Structure formats: C-alpha cells, structure tokens
Structure 1
Amino acid sequence: MTDNTRGAMLMMASMALFTLNDTFTKMLAGEVPLAQVITLRGLFTSVATAAIAWRLGAFSKPVAVRDRRLILLRVVAEVGAAYFFLTALFNMPLANVTAVLQSAPLVVTLAAALFLGESVGWRRLGAILVGFVGVLLIVRPGPEGFNLYAGYALVSVGFVTLRDITTRRLSREVPSMLVSFGTAVGVTLAFAVGGVWGADWVALDTRSGGLILAAGIAVLGAYLCSVGAMRSGEISFVSPFRYTGLLWALVLGLIAFGQFPEWPTLLGAGIVVASGLFTLYRERRLGLRPTAPQGSPRA
C-alpha cells in the first residue's frame, strides 16, 4: 500500500466517522439540549486529546504570544462554527447541512486570496462562482425553499473559513495536537457556560448517554484519522477524498432518519463538489498548498 493510498483510506475513514458523529448528535435533537450534548461530549474529547498531546510532548514546546492570540481567535471561530452548524443539524436533513459545508474549501480559497494575498487565477475564481451557484440550489433562497437554519449552515461556513485562515497563519512550530486540545477545551467551556443561561439540563438515560459517548469516540477517531491522512500522503492527493463525507451523509440520513434530499439539493451538491475538485486540481497543477479545511466544525 502506497502512502497516498493509505492517506486516502484514512481520509475516507475520517469523513465516515465525522458523519457518524453528526448522526449520533442529530439523534439527540429534541431529547437533550444542544449545550448539554456538546459539553458532555467535549469533556470526553478534551481529556482524550490532552492525553494524546501529552504523549506527543506538545505541552513541552513554548508558544509565542502571536501564536497564542491566533489560537484564541481560532477557538472563537470554532465555537461559532460549532454552534451554527449543530443548530442547523438539529433542524435540517443531515445531507443538506453536509452539502452546504462542502462549499467551505471554495470559500477558504477565496478568503486566502482576499486576506492572505494568495494568487487565484480566473479558472479557480470561475470554479468558486460556479460552486456558489450550487450552494444557492441547496439552500434555495425564496419563500418556499429558504429557512432560518439554512442561513445558520451558511454562517457556519463563514466561521469555518475564519478558523482555517487563522490556522494557516500559525507558525509551523506550533504542535497540531496543542491547537486541537485548546480548541476542544474552548468549545467545551463555551457551551458549558452558555448552557447555564440556556435550557435546563435533563437526566440521561442509557440511550442518550450511549449516543453522546459514541459521538465523542467518533469525533476523536475522525480527528486522528484526518491527522494521519495529512501525514501519510500528498495533501493534494488526499484532500479531495473529504468529499466522500457527502456520500456518507446521504446513506446515514436515509438509514437513520428516512431523509433523502430533493433533486435541486443533489444537483447543487454535485456542482459544489465538482467545483471543489477542480479547484484542488488547479492547485496541484500550480504547485500550491491546498486550501481545503483541515478540520470541521464538529469539535
């Protein structure tokens, strides 16, 4: 097995686990408040991430003041992404929310050009514009198609973009696991504090407790697979396999919730994925570092 093949398999596994996490979380909608779900899941992932970071020696390396500020900004962006994404997930079909999220690589590419001065040629710019047409087909702005939670999904993409642009400005010396630990703790604390003024927590039964634990295990495994994928193969080869998450969302949405998208959503998702793949292809041809997000708003 080549490094690229191993990386592709790990990336597909991470997308499957991320979607499983979303499925388990969505199954708790209407039973357990969102803040409670994320706080309890976050406690598990924070402890597990801390153990892995300590094992890798991430805590022993000094972090510059500039990088600390960027990590803090990244945590804020992650909190916003998690809140808007998960709120949309609780109120929209799984495949629809996942399809909107597929536009994140396109938005990050555009933001990198606007704010980091990266070169974006007319071909990639055209692909971005076509991708946005696909997003419009998914959310269908209008009195019958668009709703508040579709807007939430779009806002989450904005926060994902801020998170990934901030990540790209971090020094290469900053350990990835240290950033992940800070993010996990930050998201957990934010939802814990928010839960104090939100809905009252409820007692967990075996089912809800098991789903929260399963979601925590899935999201932790997804992150580890994603990191392994980035370290195993060429990023330009591995990154396109992120789009397999949409296939998992279609299958799990149908099995778990009996939901299957209407044809405009499927067409829009296809356009978004095709635009993203073309953008990654052009980046590889030009020898640029791919701007696909190195994570998800599910932390």
Structure 2
Amino acid sequence: MPHSRDNLIGSLWMILAMAGFALEDASIKGAAQAMPVAQVLLIFGFGGMAVFGAWAAYRAQPVFTRDVLSKPMRIRAVFEICARLFYVLALTLTPLSSATAIMQATPIVVVLGAAIFFGENVGWRRWSAVVIGLLGVLLILKPTPSSFSPLSIFAVLGMLGFAGRDLASRAAPKSLSTAALGVFGFAAIVFAGGAFTIWDGPNFVAMDLRQCGLMALAVGAGVMGYSALMQAMRTGEVATVTPFRYTRLLFGLGLGVTLFGEQLDGQTLIGCAVVVASGLFLMWRGR
C-alpha cells in the first residue's frame, strides 16, 4: 500500500496534469479564434504524435503491435475522435469556463457506463449521486429558452466521448505503453481534423508567430498533462489521487475569467459545486 508520501507526490502529479490540460484548452481556444477548427486539430494531433513517437523511440518501446487492432482499441479510437472533435468545437464556440465545467461530469458518466457495460455493482446511493450530478450539468447548461445555448451540446458530446474513451481504456491491452497510447490518442485527433476538413473544406490560413506559439504551447501542455496523469495514477492510491482531477475546474474557470473576460453567474457556480460534490461522493462510495 502506498505511503502517505507517495499519495502526496501522486496528488501533486495530478494537480500538474490538470493544470496542463486547462492550459491546453486555453491555448486551443486562443488559436481557434483566428484559425479553422480542422487546422487546429491537425496541427495539435501531428504535434502530439511526434512527441509521443519520439518518446517511444527513445525508450525503445514498440508502437505498432498486434494489440493496436484489438476491439477495445478500435472502440477507444472512435470515442477519442468524437471527444476531441466536439470538445474543440465547444472550446471554439462557447466560453472556456462552461466547457470545462461540463467536462467535470466525465467521472459520473464513467460510473454510469461501468454499471451498464461492465456490470459493476452500483447501489442506490451511487445511482442517486449520478442523477444529482447530471442535474448539476443541467444547471450549468441553463436549459431555458432565454439563456440556453445550443452550442453547449458540443461540450456534452465531447464529455460523453471522453467518458467512452476512459471506459474503453479499461479494457485496452496492458502490453501497450503510455507512449503508444499517446501516439494513437493523438492520431485520432488527426483523423478528426481530416474528417472535419472534408466537411468544412480546406480553408487553412497562414499562421503568424502568436498562433504558432499557441499551438506549440497546446501540444506541450497536452503532452505534459497526459504524462503527469499517467505518473499520478501509478504513484499514489487511486482513491486518494483521483479527486484532485477536479482542480481542472479551478484552473479552467480562472483562465476563462482572466484571459477571455468570461463572467460566472450563480447558477453556473452552483452547478459546478453539485457536479464536483457528486463526483467526490461516487469516488468515496467506490472506495
């Protein structure tokens, strides 16, 4: 059983991972203000593939093995494509703070999926927490004619995609290394960018120094976040480390307010609190 020092280090790794993902989101949103979504996806995907491919080569870890074509990996790729495409659309078209808040429902949907698809035992208390957490998402979405933005559906679809990816990852072959999973995860982003190019047309634009810097920052932050997340899950106890995923909400809200001038109303903050509380309760009951 990991010592308290391991749990502390694992928790710090998780906080670093969430900071990296929030910075990735902000960089992508900033770049997408002047670049087509397809171009952002392609550059981000190829950049991440290059970094993780170099990492795998440095550590002499195979990337292309028979297990890559296994059914869980094929399902994981489909969910990854949907998640990345819709979430980048959400970052582009909706406030960063609301997209980040909706993403926090991912663990709740994962518990729901685990009960349905993996037959995990979920008692009435955990089912109640799932329902309450989804009600918190509705508070964030504000489904009233005067305040509802249909574009927020992109964030919901992205969140469902990430939840499906996480569920499929549980069944992924253990022989695949973190670097290999990273390569194919970013390859799915390239595929999503290519598909969106066919849909929207190749209306790419020339990039200036600011856009190049934002995309480089997005790739670096994304790789850092992914690597720190893997390190966190392998250092401390999962039940101790996982709740620190919710620090991403704090980073996302802070970046949305300071960088993009977004304003948070009381209903959004209440919804965030409900989602986080439900997720933490599910983790506690699961332990």
TMscore range, shorter length: over 0.9
Q: Is residue 2:192 matched to residue 1:190?
A: yes
State the Cα distance separating 1:23 from its structure 2 match: 0.6
Within-5 A mapping of 1:208-219 = 208-219=211-222
Q: Partner residue of 1:224?
A: 227
The TM-score with structure 1 as length reference comes to 0.90
Q: Partner residue of 1:39?
A: 42
Q: Is the 8 A contact 2:82 2:192 kept in 1?
A: no
Aligned in 2, Cα 1:279/1:197: closer, same or farther, shift over 3 Å? closer
Q: Partner residue of 1:6?
A: 9
State the identity %: 35
**Aligned pair partner of 1:95 in 89, 94, 97:** 97
How far apart, CA to CA, are the structure 1 residues paired with 2:60 and 2:126? Answer: 39
- What residue identity is the alignment partner of 1:159? G
In structure 2, the gaps of 5 or more residues are none
Aligned in 2, Cα 1:57/1:262: closer, same or farther, shift over 3 Å? same
Q: Partner residue of 1:17?
A: 20
How far apart, CA to CA, are the structure 2 residues paired with 1:182 and 1:164? Answer: 14
How far apart, CA to CA, are the structure 2 residues paired with 1:260 and 1:7? Answer: 33
Aligned in 2, Cα 1:264/1:167: closer, same or farther, shift over 3 Å? same
Q: Is the 8 A contact 2:56 2:63 kept in 1?
A: no
- What residue identity is the alignment partner of 1:156? G
SS at match of 1:119: coil
Q: Is the 8 A contact 1:49 1:181 kept in 2?
A: yes
**Aligned pair partner of 1:119 in 118, 121, 134:** 121
The TM-score with structure 2 as length reference comes to 0.93
How far apart, CA to CA, are the structure 2 residues paired with 1:25 and 1:280? Answer: 30
In structure 1, the gaps of 5 or more residues are 285-299
SS at match of 1:223: helix
Q: Which moved more, 1:145-154 or 1:92-101?
A: 145-154
Q: Which moved more, 1:235-244 or 1:69-78?
A: 69-78
Aligned in 2, Cα 1:60/1:181: closer, same or farther, shift over 3 Å? closer
- What residue identity is the alignment partner of 1:229? A
Q: Is the 8 A contact 2:85 2:192 kept in 1?
A: no
Q: How many residues align?
A: 283
How far apart, CA to CA, are the structure 2 residues paired with 1:233 and 1:183? Answer: 24
Q: Is residue 2:154 matched to residue 1:152?
A: yes
Aligned in 2, Cα 1:197/1:129: closer, same or farther, shift over 3 Å? closer
State the Cα distance separating 1:59 from its structure 2 match: 0.8
State the Cα distance separating 1:60 from its structure 2 match: 6.9
Within-5 A mapping of 1:1-299 = 2-59=5-62, 62-64=65-67, 68-199=70-201, 200-284=203-287
Give the RMSD, CA atoms, in angstroms: 1.7
Q: Is the 8 A contact 1:63 1:174 kept in 2?
A: no
SS at match of 1:148: coil
- What residue identity is the alignment partner of 1:138? I
State the Cα distance separating 1:147 from its structure 2 match: 1.7
State the Cα distance separating 1:57 from its structure 2 match: 3.6
- What residue identity is the alignment partner of 1:155? L
Query: What do residues 219-274 of structure 1 show as CA deviations (whole Å, max 9, x unaligned)?
Result: 11111111111111111111000000000111111110111221101000100000
Aligned in 2, Cα 1:229/1:203: closer, same or farther, shift over 3 Å? same
Q: Partner residue of 1:292?
A: none
State the Cα distance separating 1:163 from its structure 2 match: 1.1
Aligned in 2, Cα 1:104/1:193: closer, same or farther, shift over 3 Å? closer
How far apart, CA to CA, are the structure 1 residues paired with 2:123 and 2:178? Answer: 30
State the Cα distance separating 1:85 from its structure 2 match: 0.9
